[in-house]
Structure 1
């Protein structure tokens, strides 16, 4: 019996972390504080306030790493959301953190 195609491709292991981060939206220079629960080279799971607005695309700045990840929102359920990374960039000059 053949296995479904999805099971043939290994899923990348997400490392558990607990890091503070900020969702930065350059259009309005808005900041939404969040926590990274787990991450890997291509994405992460975030915890945000359930009422917080999370844009479809944003810069996820991680002060502990001094890295900004260009992120795309993939899913959201209550106070959790998953994002994929498409690259990195420096912290914007307007962000205070």
Structure 2
């Protein structure tokens, strides 16, 4: 890890499909998890996506929803910190 790297853990590169569940009228934003570790992830989202500061990130391959808080935004990328987990919401189709 580089000396100027602010992260405590190095993220593992992954390529997982995921859905940002906002809870606002059950809206969803499809995204891709680009890298991830137990405390956070980097997401690739559509450039015009409206992503709130806090949301549930559902990753079907993990079978879990990660409670996430946005820590940074750059064009079509969002860095999030995980604050907990929960089961997939019953209203989500996947």
Counterpart in the other structure of 1:55: 52
Counterpart in the other structure of 2:36: 39
Alignment RMSD: 1.6
Counterpart in the other structure of 2:92: 95
What secondary structure sits across from 1:49 in the alignment?
coil
Q: 2:19 aligns with which of 16, 22, 29?
A: 22
Deviation at 1:26, TM superposition (A): 1.2
**4+ runs deviating over 6 angstroms:** none
Unaligned runs of 5+ in 2: none
Deviation at 1:25, TM superposition (A): 1.0
Normalised to the residue count of structure 1, the TM-score between the two structures is 0.88
Decide which structure has greater helix share.
1
